[in-house]
Amino acid sequence: YEIERAVAFIRAYCHQAGLNKVVLGLSGGIDSSLSAALAVQALGKENVLGLLLPYRKSSAHSTDDATVLAESLGIKTKTIDISPMVDAYFAMHQEEADSLRKGNFMARMRMSVLYDFSSQEAALVLGTSNRTELLVGYFTQFGDGACAFEPIGHLYKTEVRILSQVLDLPQSILNKAPTADLWEGQTDEGELGITYPVLDEILYQLTEQHIEVSETAKLDYPLASYQHVMKLVSRSEYKRQLPPVLE
């Protein structure tokens, strides 16, 4: 049922925009893979373009997985190494930048390439963020958070995994640890400080069941875990809002 809903959403939104193509970044991860698979069902493989946008320190396995996914779906791909663009900026202006700043810049460079291709192809940029990432702000503002629409933005990470299994996505993608692959050894759960199954359960309880969180409340997980998740949601609220304008 959720697959049918997402497919209908993609098809309807493209029709409303007067376009029948989408372009998306293929990272080799489960979110972009599911997004691509849904887009193929909605629009046909000939109307989906996947861009592989590696940085020189990106894992070769990510590119391999993205290629396998594209071949299994029968979609066209284009590979563009963003290293020269990224390295030129930091070498000339910000040599002392840390990994976080570089990672955010990479994400925004990738989105710049995606939007250029969307213009060339008369296509919409398809988002690949899930509900979990959006709620806790685990995305780069105007980077991977920039898109025309989010076909899996209503799905928690654990739901993304379930639907990906239903659609029989490549096993190598299903088995890998979630990562943005912005620097060596990076993992989503390591950065978030919590595992996705627990995070999803807590987010569901907070945002959909609206449970009370207090020292006296009966909770399924330690109070500190709820406080940690609430902090992630609160401090990233600005990412989910349009820039404020004085009235």
Q: Distance from CA of residue 83 to its chain's centroid?
A: 20
Choosing from 2, 95, 133, 144, the catalytic residue is 133
| 87 catalytic per annotation | no
Phi, psi of 54 (to 5 degrees): -75, 155
Please name every residue paired with 77 in a beta bridge, in sequence order, or none if there are none: 50
Residues in contact with 214: Cβ distance below 8 Å, sequence separation at least 6, in sequence order: 223
Residue in this structure with the two tokens 């996947």, named with its chain if needed: 50
Nearest CA to 181 among 82, 87, 113?
82
Choosing from 31, 65, 150, 181, the catalytic residue is 31
| 31 catalytic per annotation | yes
Nearest CA to 139 among 174, 110, 169?
110
| Residue 127, both tokens | 């988002």
Phi, psi of 195 (to 5 degrees): -80, 155
As annotated, the active-site residues are: 31, 133
